Amino acid sequence: MSRRRRGEVTEGEELPGLQVRVTRADLVRYAGASGDFNPIHWNERVAREVGLPDVIAHGMLTMALANRLVTAWAGDPGAVVRCAVRFTRPVVVPDGDEGAFVELSGKVAQRHDDGTVVVSITARCGARSVLGQATATIALA
């Protein structure tokens, strides 16, 4: 995909959506890559003991999925100059091949004179939002 250029982007533009299935196997791979082996991300008993409904995805994995939406649209992972989110609800990942289905969408919220744009991101799992105030600032070519 080619990199987005300043003249190609308008405020209000919607990004192509992204749907990602997150499985327990994905959580194990992410734990290995990140070094975050907290048992709430792989052990049902521990997750329930601390009041969670089941094993949950790593918050930073959910944030990475939001950034994947933006980098695919921007055409360059290095174009992200800032990202911010509030973790509002966990992504519960049931056991089995189906896992959890995370749906991501975005919209260009602001264009700046310096050639950057701010993208507002929505992340949902089921009918619930899992990230709040999620934004990414992108440097356009």
Kindly report, residue by residue over 15-50, the tens digit of the pLDDT. Answer: 999 999 999 999 999 999 999 999 999 999 999 999
CA neighbor of 141 nearest in space, from 11, 10, 3: 3
pLDDT at 100 over 70: yes
In this structure, whether the domain defined by 6-22+58-139 belongs to CATH 3.10.129.10 is answered with: yes
Adjacent-strand bridge partners of 135: 84, 120
CA distance 135 to 106: 9
pLDDT category at 1 given cuts 50, 70, 90 is low
CA neighbor of 91 nearest in space, from 33, 138, 24: 24
Contacts of 57 (CB under 8 A, 6+ apart): 22, 26, 27, 30, 41, 90, 91, 93, 100
Domain ranges, ordered by start, for the chain: 6-22+58-139
pLDDT at 5 over 70: yes
Percent of the chain with pLDDT over 90: 91
Q: Is 103 exposed, middle or buried (0-12, 13-18, 19+ CB in 10 A)?
A: middle
